[in-house]
Structure 1
């Protein structure tokens, strides 16, 4: 027997964290007291009311059948109301497509819009899934530089001179992961103008906008964005619901419909009690984010102290749930392995986010202050 996998698998490798966390589990099984600060999986609980809504509605006899492909109308309404309240976005003309996490939206959007040979603009430092999905569907990633010396701002000179005749999608992500750079309205406006002038679909991946960020923005805060933009968002980070897999795509009906066409052939809807619990989360008031960020600020301060011990360079105005820092030896991958060997602490090497991150490391703040203090004491 010689059953060969598809040729497309040669275009990308297993997701870094899939393989590395398997190795970390093996070390733990051998008795090593590994502290995993590599991945951004929130460790805090969702709001008690969210869990209560799931428990209560799961007991209902009508909760266990197939659900609408476009989700419950009440969930779509809750997402629109959340955008109106949290981002001050006019939502009357916006279509909403619930997703099993926004990562699914990256795949579905790519399947809906890309043909083999199309090009996709991807930040040279960013979420690796943008690249892997582009290659899965047979398109070509084209990386645009982010300037390290200018707080990872895009290199507009590169973009303005680029031949975009084959470019179909432009991926952006603010607050930016992994650097934690925030966007202001002027920056998002420039991206929208660029996409409109070149007839490119602008996809804004926006899961971190409420974590250590006092000025959350949507791409739809920019006038005219609905003509060219889709925004992906989720409850994973901002509501401590990563494992629940609740996200959505928002945009004009014209731009969302092709994504629905793909999704409706891929799954059969989200579990109804999860949708109803998501509505509960979306209706939480500002105090939820205040409490969440109070914890992340305390953790971030310890994270900065850890980086000081390691002689790493970092910005102290990062948003999101990570600390992004430059390794003192200029080799993030080797430095991460050294930290793991010496202190039984795992952090993410920056190279997994692109060659521009090769000299960096990333520490996750998805750990209690007490656990981060333990890491600090180990390194002291």
Structure 2
């Protein structure tokens, strides 16, 4: 990317997509999502994409939890090829409450137009270690390495060995991890019901995305919970304009803390 180029960013979406775009002095074009979680293709077809170089996508999607699919990935690849875009799939929630973990690089033609990011932070509960990966065709990876190798070099050997051990864990690790997340999510659904939030349950990832009732202001609800109940949930507006009437609740808390939050709300 060079100053003046443009980037397609989902709305709602991970705020860092916008931050890095601004850091590079590029223009952000925010695209809405349909009810099935796919990009609004009609909106995108109407845009002038001549300056667009990069297309951010993220499935399972944060914050909504929309799941990807092979057919959606094919559509993303076709659109990117047709418009000469670099498609970047951010995939850190690939194993979190997903019936079938998916990689866009498993789709025919993906390596011609796509890069995929993943991380050990979510899947193996080691966010502070900052261990992740980028996958794609060799030419693009070499370009990334030329930049990254001049910014930082090497990683503490103990962290590297820990990451290797994590990657050798079997199916039982994922099953137990998701069992705990499923139990927590059920409790968060109870909490959401107390707050009169509208949630979709066929979702993946580490968060519950809830729509507030029309008569309630999302920011006011967040402040009320914080100052009156000492409970923090995230206002949806930080993820984009489309999140204005939503809040995000994490399932990263142990069950006893979620139960305590439920108790406080009922009090």
- 1:223 matched to 2:113? The reply is no
Equivalent of 1:365 in 248, 251, 254: 251
Q: What's the counterpart of residue 310 of structure 1?
A: 195
Q: 2:177 is paired with a residue of what secondary structure? A: helix
Q: What's the counterpart of residue 354 of structure 1?
A: 240
Alignment of 1:241-320 (within 5 A): 241-320=126-205
Check whether the contact 1:331–1:360 (CA below 8 A) recurs between aligned residues. Answer: no
Alignment of 1:1-380 (within 5 A): 114-147=1-34, 150-328=35-213, 329-380=215-266
CA distance in 2 between partners of 1:360 and 1:218 (Å): 28
Check whether the contact 2:188–2:208 (CA below 8 A) recurs between aligned residues. Answer: yes
Q: 2:77 is paired with a residue of what secondary structure? A: helix
Aligned length: 265
Q: 2:121 is paired with a residue of what secondary structure? A: coil
TM-score scaled by length of structure 2: 0.97
1:198-251 Cα distance to aligned partner (Å, 9 max, x none) = 111000000001111111111112101001111110000010010111001111
CA distance in 2 between partners of 1:152 and 1:173 (Å): 10
**5+ residue gaps, structure 2:** none
1:277-309 Cα distance to aligned partner (Å, 9 max, x none) = 111111110100000000000000000000000
Q: 1:192 is paired with a residue of what secondary structure? A: helix
Structure 1 residue 338: Cα displacement:
1.1
Higher relative contact order (CA 8 A, sep 6+): 1
Q: 1:142 is paired with a residue of what secondary structure? A: strand
CA distance in 2 between partners of 1:221 and 1:370 (Å): 39
Check whether the contact 1:321–1:365 (CA below 8 A) recurs between aligned residues. Answer: yes
Check whether the contact 1:146–1:155 (CA below 8 A) recurs between aligned residues. Answer: yes
138-147 vs 298-307, which deviates more?
Answer: 138-147
Q: 1:164 is paired with a residue of what secondary structure? A: coil
Q: 1:121 is paired with a residue of what secondary structure? A: strand
Check whether the contact 1:115–1:139 (CA below 8 A) recurs between aligned residues. Answer: yes
Q: What's the counterpart of residue 109 of structure 1?
A: none
TM-score scaled by length of structure 1: 0.69
Structure 1 residue 120: Cα displacement:
0.2
Structure 1 residue 131: Cα displacement:
0.5
CA distance in 2 between partners of 1:281 and 1:345 (Å): 33
Structure 1 residue 115: Cα displacement:
0.2
**5+ residue gaps, structure 1:** 1-113
